[in-house]
Amino acid sequence: MLSLLRHDPAFSARYRYLLERPERRLAKPQALCALAAKLLRTLWCLAVHDQPYEVSRAWPGGVPLVASSSTATSARTPTGNPSGLGVTPRV
């Protein structure tokens, strides 16, 4: 997980945001767990749909690079899909 934070700017930015956001800041272990869950959802969608990784699909609303009150919104995408990959998971 730490290697991912060093080499993927989108995951690194999201990690910093989770630590520094103005509302409901996460502790370091909580932020790592949240990103691990995001990584697992992303890998699942990539495997199921046989598509390459694209930052724009993994983070469709954009990754907040700076914690500000205007970006302190829900982690869900506008479509309500928590995976953020533009596909609806099967139930």
- Note the pLDDT tens digit of each residue in 29-62: 999 999 999 999 989 998 998 888 887 777 777 7
Q: Provide mean pLDDT across the span 19-35.
A: 92
Amino acid at 85: L
Question: Is the pLDDT confidence value at 82 over 70?
Answer: no
Give the angle subtended at the CA of 51 by the CAs of 40 and 34, to the nearest 5°. 20
Predicted TM-score of the model (pTM): 0.62
Domain ranges of the chain: 2-71
Question: Is the pLDDT confidence value at 79 over 60?
Answer: no
Instruction: Give the pLDDT band of residue 9 (cuts 50, 70, 90).
Output: confident
Give the model's pLDDT for residue 63: 67
